[in-house]
Chain A
Amino acid sequence: VKRPALTSAAPPLAFEQVLDALSDPVVASDESGKVLYLNAAAEGLLGWSAAEVIGKPLTTIMPARLRPAHEEGFRRFMATGRSTIVGRPVRVSALQRDGSEIDVELTLSELRPETGRLLMVAVIRDLRDRVELERKVTAQRKILAQYATVAVIADATDATTAMPQLLKAAATALDWEIGIYWEKDSASNQLRMSAAWSSGSPLVDGFVTACRSLTFAPGEGLPGMVFQSGQADWSRNVRTDPRYLRGRLALAHGLCSALAFPVYTRDRTWGVLEYLSKTEEAVDDELRQTMTVLGFQIGQFLARLEHEVDIRRALARAEAERRNLETLFENAPAAIAIVRGPELRYELSNAVNQELAGGRQLVGKTVREALPELEADGVTAVVRSVYDTGKPFVAREYAVTAPATDHRPARRMFMNGICQPLRGPNGAIEGAMIFAYDVTDMVASRQRVEEAEERLRLALESAELGTWDYDPQSGAIQCDASFRRLFGLRPDGEMNTKRLMSAIRMEDRPGVEEAARRSFDPHGGGGYVAQYRTVGIDDGVERWISVHGRTFFDEQGKPHRFVGTGVDITREKVALERERFLAEATAVLASSFDYGTTVASVGKLAVPTLADGCAVELLPEADEPPLLIVEHASSPQAERLREVWRRSSPDPTSPLKIDHVVSTGQPTFIPDVSEQPGIRSAMILPIKVRDRTIGLLGLFQAESGRRYSASDLTFAAELARRTGAAIENARLYDQAKRAVGIRDQFLSIASHELRTPLTALTFLLSTVSKMVARGTPATGPDGDKLAERISRMRDQIGRLNTLVDDLLNVSRIATGRLSLNLEPMDLVELVKDVLNRLNDVAEHANSRMTLRAPESLKGRWDHDRIDQVVTNLVGNAIKHAAGTPIDVEVGCDDNIARLVVRDQGPGIRESDQKRIFERFERAAPPALAGFGLGLWLVKSIVDAHNGRVEVASTPGNGARFVIELPIDTPT
């Protein structure tokens, strides 16, 4: 084909031949925009033959979308000579003959050959290879950006340091100059820069500085538009884009393209990330998608951080609770210590224990290192044996050496207590708890008894003695005034042996007679020693007397004279009896770690020694029920006394003033009770624990006719004090045992649950980073694998989020922050939603779910919370009863909505049925994991709605959970 000449009127020009020979494609047009020339290389590239296009408009070889811009630019150039593209390479698309587009770079120049006609000549370069290469690089960069973002998120702990890193990660991966995070300010509802990254050139930094003072309302500028629409958007050339409000600013700082995308989670847009580059960048849908995913990941990260702030608060509260527990331990009047590990290392030692240890540093050291003295006392061996065998050791009056300090010498002490094993969640022994209290004073009081006996002996020797002289043969008796007083006889009162004998207390008489018989036995030594009580013949006063005497015999061996002395030992004897009583009381009270038993033993101690009847009442405590124990020698009397106590207790006008003792903590002392039949004398004492009245001790005299004196009150107060200490010790021991158990169990479950997704994440991150390091391409099977692993990382992050949410719910409810958002809603619709959502899980577990429900059931409830309730119950049924059908039923009675979830799984033992609603409890084996919070949450939410939750189950026959909610929950 003969190529038409460039200028139809003239012969071919010299440069035309040059163009023909060029290997680069060339196209030329005239000033009207018609094609004049097309060289062979151009024919080859575009597929058009010269004959087909010459004479046609240039737009013939352009895609339709470029035509208006071309015509406008061409016209302007012809009219004004100004052009944005003449003289420099431009990237455009060209239209091939077969209708497909190819990327080309063209350099446009104007030529004025001799004819004087203007020619526009374009030299074209095929960019297809380069574009393909760039596409690959871009794809690689996108993966890199995503990986870098995930890597930052995985390590980050707060947004302030993480955001610039996130901006940098994506910007450097994608080769952008600047990254800005526009965060929504909740107060002003404006977008404001909260973090930025730039490549560091001073020019570019100036742009960031200028943006710092700017704000955008939603819908305003590129950030505002993206924020409002929630869709990624970009501007290829911000200098000319009217939507881009900072065009001039960008121009001044040498910036050209901008890309913005939202940072969002499912229910919230957090802000907008904006990236700018110096060069004009094309943004394709794929990049937009990548950025949307990144925006979601960053959004989830921000949500996680916000949760973590809550978690930190929750942990702080847990820490405060732990401190409370420690305060309890610290202030306990008993020594408490926890040792862990086979080396028996102290983990906790409270103030009393520290004091015992002479103030030495114990925590962190082993028992052997910290207290070598205990080896000799055998304590170390005891703790070791508890750790090794798991058998608790109960110590009674166990002697230990408290080490010397600067202020006091080493001392011998006696302790009561228990050392018991601490077990981990799997039952293995992990340590031991030592709980002990000082009973040195009890042992000392026994010693005081012995001392008192010694004092008594001395008193006898020094006291004013009464004397007698008796002639057994005539029966005549001579006594002095002192001896008469011992029997309550007036100096002039009639006196004979019969009368004296009648003054001796009936129960003491056999002893006296036996002592006299032995003294009259000629084969014995004639000695006579006795102690007995007399009741004054003339004054009615009871006395303790002690007598020493001797019988003298005649030659026939018959007793002919019986002489001796007597002394009043009442004071010493009573003191001794009381001391003995208290020593016994302390021992009995300390013999049990169960406070019910402790309380019962007080009554048994008091009757009949101290009282004819006794009542011990424990006031109701937060987690302890009230307790009343009445003791009396005869049971009908005990019943009568119980009735009197019950009636008087709340009655402020009662002579016993029980009410008054509770409110003031002061005892009532009524030596003569007149208004209360059946009671002669009474004392009511408060039982106190660290100045708080926790109970009452009532002591009564009735049929014995005895009457309380002021010294009895002091004595009874001491008994009440020891009772209080014993009850406190028993309770404290119980609390300490429970608290340690709950804390350890929860910590181990929580750490197990959190470690599982973390482990999976660690492995995934390792494989993904190795793939990226190897330069794994984005496409093909390896690219798919990479994408799949990143998606699995996202699943594990989701799992962590769920666990964190669970913990959050616990802390909200535990601190009373569960507020309901009541709104009219349809329970049936909600249940259907939940069942739909769980359908996949149920199918996976091979469980068929059926729903029996009316068309709708409307009421006022908190939609999201009730959703949690239903999800938990149905989810539990699927989890614990996999493979069996699950029936859900919704119904209504009067004003009560009812939801029933029934499964046919293994069921729940009766003993577990109440427990499963407690925090951190579960009936299932540990392998069916979770925090054990689900049912507790269900109960808390239902309770908050004033509803009820019940479970009925027989093991082996499935479980049936019933929730009842008032249709209109009162606010």
Chain B
Amino acid sequence: MNTFVLVVDDDEGIRESLCDLLEDEGHHAVGAANGKEALDILRANDRPCIILLDVMMPVMDGPAFRAEQLKDPALSDIPVAVITAAGANAATSIQPEALLLKPVSAESLLDVVDRFCPRI
């Protein structure tokens, strides 16, 4: 049983509301404000069942984070779902397992999370 979800988004409003949504559904959600924070969390914690990733962020953006993630054998197979307002093209270089375009409905987001994080 693994219901740890990592939320990476520079917008505090989205990060917090997304974590609330996931927590209410029984997941354990942790937020990171950029790719670098996300890597720090990944290296210090348990393995999440999915990473929800924004594309445009300061310090380290989505594509740069994905590159780092793929370089690290311990992290490379964690599935990534991209959540972006910048259109489908923005995620081409990331090659995510799932793509959600903002504004995304809570249902479709939870569908994706449920797909990768089965609860027992």
Complex CA–CA separation, A424 to B86 (angstroms) = 9
Most buried by B among A425, A426, A796: A426
Known: A767-B17, A926-B56, A927-B58. A759 touches B89 (CB 8 A): no
Report the nearest B residue to A764, measured CB to CB: B17
> Contacts of B14 on A, CB cut-off 8 Å?
756, 759-760, 763
Known: A428-B92, A927-B61. A748 touches B87 (CB 8 A): yes
B70: interface (CB < 8 Å):
no
Known: A762-B106, A767-B24, A927-B56. A756 touches B86 (CB 8 A): no
> What 0/1 pattern do residues 8 to 26 of B give for CB contact below 8 A with A?
0011011011101100100
Complex CA–CA separation, A751 to B20 (angstroms) = 25
New A-B contacts (4) at CB < 8 Å, excluding given A759-B14, A759-B85, A799-B13: A751-B85, A756-B13, A766-B105, A927-B10
Contact residue among A770, A771, A792 (Cβ-Cβ distance under 8 Å from B13): A792
Report the nearest B residue to A796, measured CB to CB: B13
Task: Give the Cβ gap from A35 to chain B, nearest Cβ, in Å.
Answer: 57
* Residues B13 and A757 in contact, CB atoms below 8 Å apart: yes
> Contacts of B61 on A, CB cut-off 8 Å?
927
B118: interface (CB < 8 Å):
no
Task: Give the Cβ gap from A843 to chain B, nearest Cβ, in Å.
Answer: 16
Interface of chain A residues 440 through 485 with chain B (CB within 8 A): none
* Residues A755 and B89 in contact, CB atoms below 8 Å apart: no
A510: interface (CB < 8 Å):
no
A734: interface (CB < 8 Å):
no
B39: interface (CB < 8 Å):
no
Interface of chain B residues 34 through 84 with chain A (CB within 8 A): 56-58, 61, 83
Known: A430-B89, A928-B58. A789 touches B20 (CB 8 A): yes
* Residues B103 and A755 in contact, CB atoms below 8 Å apart: yes
Report the nearest A residue to B100, measured CB to CB: A759
Complex CA–CA separation, A929 to B58 (angstroms) = 10
> Contacts of A929 on B, CB cut-off 8 Å?
56
Cross-chain pairs A/B with CB under 8 angstroms, 24 sampled? A424-B87, A428-B89, A430-B89, A748-B86, A752-B86, A755-B85, A756-B11, A756-B85, A758-B102, A758-B103, A759-B85, A759-B104, A760-B13, A762-B103, A762-B104, A763-B21, A767-B17, A789-B20, A799-B13, A926-B56, A927-B56, A927-B58, A927-B61, A928-B58
* Residues B102 and A767 in contact, CB atoms below 8 Å apart: no
Report the nearest B residue to A788, measured CB to CB: B20
* Residues B105 and A762 in contact, CB atoms below 8 Å apart: yes
Complex CA–CA separation, A478 to B21 (angstroms) = 112
Report the nearest B residue to A769, measured CB to CB: B106
> Contacts of B24 on A, CB cut-off 8 Å?
767, 770-771
B90: interface (CB < 8 Å):
yes
> Contacts of B102 on A, CB cut-off 8 Å?
755-756, 758-759
Known: A758-B102, A766-B21, A789-B20. A925 touches B58 (CB 8 A): yes
Report the nearest B residue to A757, measured CB to CB: B13
Complex CA–CA separation, A759 to B12 (angstroms) = 12
Contact residue among A426, A751, A767, A796 (Cβ-Cβ distance under 8 Å from B21): A767
Name the prevailing secondary structure of the A interface residues.
helix
Task: Give the Cβ gap from B120 to chain A, nearest Cβ, in Å.
Answer: 22
> Contacts of A925 on B, CB cut-off 8 Å?
58
> Contacts of B85 on A, CB cut-off 8 Å?
751-752, 755-756, 759
* Residues A763 and B17 in contact, CB atoms below 8 Å apart: yes
Interface size range of chain A in the complex:
20 to 34
Interface of chain A residues 385 through 431 with chain B (CB within 8 A): 424-426, 428, 430
A280: interface (CB < 8 Å):
no
Complex CA–CA separation, A222 to B120 (angstroms) = 58
> Contacts of B104 on A, CB cut-off 8 Å?
759, 762
Interface of chain A residues 743 through 785 with chain B (CB within 8 A): 748, 751-752, 755-764, 766-767, 770-771
Complex CA–CA separation, A789 to B23 (angstroms) = 13
A795: interface (CB < 8 Å):
yes
Complex CA–CA separation, A759 to B92 (angstroms) = 22
> What 0/1 pattern do residues 268 to 293 of A give for CB contact below 8 A with B?
00000000000000000000000000
Complex CA–CA separation, A126 to B24 (angstroms) = 40
Q: How many residues of B contact A (CB 8 A)?
A: 28
Complex CA–CA separation, A361 to B18 (angstroms) = 45
> Contacts of A428 on B, CB cut-off 8 Å?
89-90, 92
* Residues A426 and B103 in contact, CB atoms below 8 Å apart: no
Complex CA–CA separation, A748 to B57 (angstroms) = 16
Contact residue among A430, A748, A760 (Cβ-Cβ distance under 8 Å from B17): A760
Task: Give the Cβ gap from B21 to chain A, nearest Cβ, in Å.
Answer: 5
For the complex of A and B, list the 3 residue pairs with the smallest distance between their C-beta atoms, beginning with the closest. A766-B106, A763-B17, A760-B13
Contact residue among A430, A755, A756, A763 (Cβ-Cβ distance under 8 Å from B106): A763
Complex CA–CA separation, A453 to B67 (angstroms) = 68
Known: A759-B102, A928-B58. A426 touches B90 (CB 8 A): yes
> Contacts of B10 on A, CB cut-off 8 Å?
927
* Residues A764 and B86 in contact, CB atoms below 8 Å apart: no
Most buried by B among A752, A763, A928: A763
Task: Give the Cβ gap from A845 to chain B, nearest Cβ, in Å.
Answer: 12
Contact residue among A426, A757, A796, A928 (Cβ-Cβ distance under 8 Å from B86): A426
Complex CA–CA separation, A400 to B24 (angstroms) = 62
Known: A755-B103, A760-B11, A767-B24. A792 touches B86 (CB 8 A): no
Task: Give the Cβ gap from B40 to chain A, nearest Cβ, in Å.
Answer: 18
> Contacts of A927 on B, CB cut-off 8 Å?
10, 56-58, 61
> Contacts of A756 on B, CB cut-off 8 Å?
11, 13-14, 85, 102
Report the nearest B residue to A760, measured CB to CB: B13
Complex CA–CA separation, A94 to B106 (angstroms) = 51
Complex CA–CA separation, A770 to B89 (angstroms) = 33
Report the nearest B residue to A763, measured CB to CB: B17
Task: Give the Cβ gap from B94 to chain A, nearest Cβ, in Å.
Answer: 12
Complex CA–CA separation, A424 to B92 (angstroms) = 13
> What 0/1 pattern do residues 527 to 554 of A give for CB contact below 8 A with B?
0000000000000000000000000000
* Residues A426 and B13 in contact, CB atoms below 8 Å apart: no
Task: Give the Cβ gap from B24 to chain A, nearest Cβ, in Å.
Answer: 5
> Contacts of A426 on B, CB cut-off 8 Å?
86, 89-90
Task: Give the Cβ gap from A542 to chain B, nearest Cβ, in Å.
Answer: 66
Most buried by A among B17, B20, B85: B17
Task: Give the Cβ gap from A713 to chain B, nearest Cβ, in Å.
Answer: 56
> What 0/1 pattern do residues 91 to 112 of B give for CB contact below 8 A with A?
0100000000011111101000
> Contacts of A789 on B, CB cut-off 8 Å?
17, 20
Known: A760-B14, A767-B17, A927-B61. A425 touches B103 (CB 8 A): no
> Contacts of B86 on A, CB cut-off 8 Å?
425-426, 748, 752
Report the nearest A residue to B17, measured CB to CB: A763
Report the nearest B residue to A423, measured CB to CB: B89
> What 0/1 pattern do residues 626 to 654 of A give for CB contact below 8 A with B?
00000000000000000000000000000
> Contacts of B105 on A, CB cut-off 8 Å?
762, 766
Task: Give the Cβ gap from A258 to chain B, nearest Cβ, in Å.
Answer: 38
> Contacts of B18 on A, CB cut-off 8 Å?
763
> Contacts of A799 on B, CB cut-off 8 Å?
13
Report the nearest A residue to B14, measured CB to CB: A760
> Contacts of A770 on B, CB cut-off 8 Å?
24
Task: Give the Cβ gap from A927 to chain B, nearest Cβ, in Å.
Answer: 4
> Contacts of A928 on B, CB cut-off 8 Å?
58
> Contacts of A760 on B, CB cut-off 8 Å?
11, 13-14, 16-17
Report the nearest B residue to A924, measured CB to CB: B58
Report the nearest B residue to A766, measured CB to CB: B106
> Contacts of A767 on B, CB cut-off 8 Å?
17, 20-21, 24, 106
Complex CA–CA separation, A799 to B13 (angstroms) = 10
Complex CA–CA separation, A927 to B9 (angstroms) = 11
Task: Give the Cβ gap from B112 to chain A, nearest Cβ, in Å.
Answer: 14
* Residues B103 and A759 in contact, CB atoms below 8 Å apart: yes
Complex CA–CA separation, A823 to B92 (angstroms) = 54
Report the nearest A residue to B107, measured CB to CB: A766
Complex CA–CA separation, A756 to B85 (angstroms) = 7
Complex CA–CA separation, A356 to B118 (angstroms) = 58
> What 0/1 pattern do residues 297 to 331 of A give for CB contact below 8 A with B?
00000000000000000000000000000000000
Report the nearest A residue to B89, measured CB to CB: A428
